[in-house]
Amino acid sequence: MNNWIWFGKRPTTRVLCGAVLGLLGISILFWPELQQQSDIWTLLPGIALAAAGTYCFSLGNMLSVRHQKQGLKPPTTNAWGMFYGVAILFVISRINGVEFTISYEASYVSALLYLAIPGTVIGFTAYLMLVGRIGPDSAAYATVMFPVVALTISSLYEGYNWSPAAIGGLLLVISGNIIIFSKFRLPAFGFTGLSNASK
């Protein structure tokens, strides 16, 4: 939707169908976890923050598209963006009197380096380059697989048990990926702009 708002590019039928399946799949995937909460209303602030964070992520995609159209490269814009982020966090932490501390244990340092270099610098740069190549809508859908990967790792190392609902949600997410990234034609749904774009 942001791609449509900011750059006038309507979402294709393929992307819309995949997005609906992806959102439905993620919802079903986490529904068993939500049902374990006695008061669902206590979760709403967290869900709202997650939605706001996702929208900010989407706006970041739009900013990257704009930069790349102007000839700026993701490694350069990422470096500046991370510099600004560190500077802002430093100022906020100093205002709030937060002390800078670090553990020199090997497990902490190795985890920090992994998060900083492959998990952030390389990961975000590669993702934003993908945004430039295949468009923000298709690239953003790839992030729907992140929770699936996280739960898969959790099942290997933390004993997460896949319920029938979680398996059904996983299948819907995978189906959404297949629809978005496959080459087969989708039937027209009567909306000329979308059906033409999907071809």
Segment 121-133 shows an average pLDDT of 90
DSSP-assigned states of every residue in 20-80: HHHHHHHHHHHHHHHHT-S-GGGGHHHHHHHHHHHHHHHHHHHHHHHHHHTT--HHHHHHH
Confidence of residue 197 (pLDDT cuts 50, 70, 90): very low
End-to-end CA distance of the chain: 19
Q: Domain segments of the chain: what residues?
A: 2-198
Which letter, b or e, does each residue of 94-118 get, where b requires 16 or more Cβ atoms within 10 Å of its Cβ?
A: eeeeeeeeeeeeeeeeeeeeeeeee
Q: How far apart are CA 87 and CA 81, in angstroms?
A: 10
Which run of H or E residues covers position 150? helix 145-157
pLDDT in tens, 64-123: 999 999 999 999 999 999 999 999 999 999 999 998 888 999 999 999 999 999 988 998
Higher-confidence position of 16 and 141: 16
Higher-confidence position of 149 and 117: 117
- Does residue 199 have a pLDDT over 50? no
Please name the residues in contact with 143: beta carbons below 8 A apart, sequence gap of 6 or more. Answer: 57
Give Dmax (Cα) for the chain.
61
pLDDT in tens, 15-68: 888 889 988 998 888 887 777 777 777 888 888 998 899 899 889 889 999 999
DSSP, res 98? P
Higher-confidence position of 197 and 136: 136
Per-residue confidence (pLDDT) for residue 192, from 0 to 100: 45
Per-residue confidence (pLDDT) for residue 190, from 0 to 100: 47
